[in-house]
């Protein structure tokens, strides 16, 4: 078996399907991956390395005639689909990412991280009403995570709701005081709200910077 892939997943010898899957899921569900992985270059690289090692080993087993059994639980199935979606987002294959997240949501509705990522994809597509719904649900289910509030602020701003955008930004900052540039964004939103300027001119902002659309 591929020695590099084995080492990546902390395995040795000739592990079976169950052992490989268990090692992969144990690593990709660690706390550092319980957020928006694709916006962090270092995390994206680490997640991709784990995912590609898993795919390599499972493909090798299949090629040798070993039957790749189905996941042992719905939770495993949903996590595997979610991981595929995350990997697709890292590769900027947003159509495939959406398909995987939607499939995970059908199997296990209201999975917090699935809702968060569906909200982000809807925001990318400018489906603001639907994005707000998914992101509000994610914020409710992830009370200690700043990410839903950060993306909610973007959805509200694009929808021309500056006051709600400011509230969301303050909540994000409350949950993660290390966030940079939030105070300046709140001030800018407040100033533009008072001046009555069109908020539609800032449609390419946080999300597009994260997706590499604009600097």
The pLDDT, as a whole number, for residue 198 is 53
Q: What is the CA radius of gyration of the chain?
A: 19
Q: Which H/E stretch holds residue 149?
A: helix 147-158
Three-state DSSP state, 160: coil
Cβ neighbours of residue 88 closer than 8 Å, sequence gap 6 or more = 94, 96, 97, 100
Separation between Cα atoms, residue 41 and residue 28, nearest integer Å: 16
Q: Tokens for 170?
A: 């303050």
The CATH homologous superfamily to which domain 128-215 belongs is: Tetratricopeptide repeat domain (1.25.40.10)
> How far is the CA of 153 from the CAs of 1, 23, 178, in angstroms?
47, 36, 17
Phi and psi of 203, rounded to 5°? -75, -30
Classify each residue of 142-159 as buried b or exposed e, where b means 16 or more C-beta atoms within 10 Å of its C-beta.
beebbbbbbbbbbbbbbb
* Residue 123 to residue 125: CA distance in whole angstroms: 5
Q: pLDDT at position 195, please?
A: 63
Per-residue pLDDT of the chain (215 residues; tens, 9 = 90+): 899 999 999 999 999 999 999 999 999 999 999 989 999 999 999 999 999 999 999 999 999 998 888 898 999 999 999 999 999 999 999 999 999 999 999 999 999 999 999 999 999 999 999 999 999 999 999 999 999 999 999 999 999 999 999 999 999 999 999 988 888 888 888 877 666 655 544 444 455 544 444 33
DSSP 176-188: -TT-SSHHHHHHH
Q: For residue 21, what pLDDT is reported? A: 97
The predicted structure's pLDDT at residue 110: 92
Cα distance between residue 17 and residue 10, in whole Å: 14
Domain limits, the chain: 1-109, 128-215
Confidence (pTM): 0.85
């Amino acid at each position: 078996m591929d020695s590099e892939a084995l080492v990546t997943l902390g395995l040795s010898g000739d592990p079976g399907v169950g052992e490989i899957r268990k090692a992969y899921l144990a690593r990709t569900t660690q706390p550092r991956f319980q957020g928006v992985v694709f916006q962090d270059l270092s995390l994206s690289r680490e997640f991709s390395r784990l995912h590609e090692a898993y795919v390599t080993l499972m493909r090798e087993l299949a090629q040798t005639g070993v039957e790749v059994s189905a996941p042992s639980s719905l939770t495993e199935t949903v996590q595997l689909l979610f991981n595929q979606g995350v990997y697709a987002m890292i590769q900027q294959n947003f159509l495939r990412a959406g398909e995987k997240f939607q499939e995970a949501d059908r199997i296990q509705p209201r999975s917090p991280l699935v809702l968060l990522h569906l909200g982000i994809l809807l925001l990318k597509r400018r489906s603001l009403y639907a994005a707000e719904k998914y992101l509000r649900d994610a914020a409710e289910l992830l009370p200690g995570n700043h990410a839903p509030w950060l993306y909610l602020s973007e959805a509200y701003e694009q929808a021309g709701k500056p006051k709600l955008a400011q509230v969301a930004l303050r909540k994000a900052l409350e949950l993660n005081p290390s966030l940079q540039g939030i105070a300046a964004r709140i001030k800018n939103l407040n100033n533009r709200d008072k001046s009555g300027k069109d908020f539609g001119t800032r449609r390419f902002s946080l999300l597009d910077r994260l997706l590499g659309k604009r600097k």
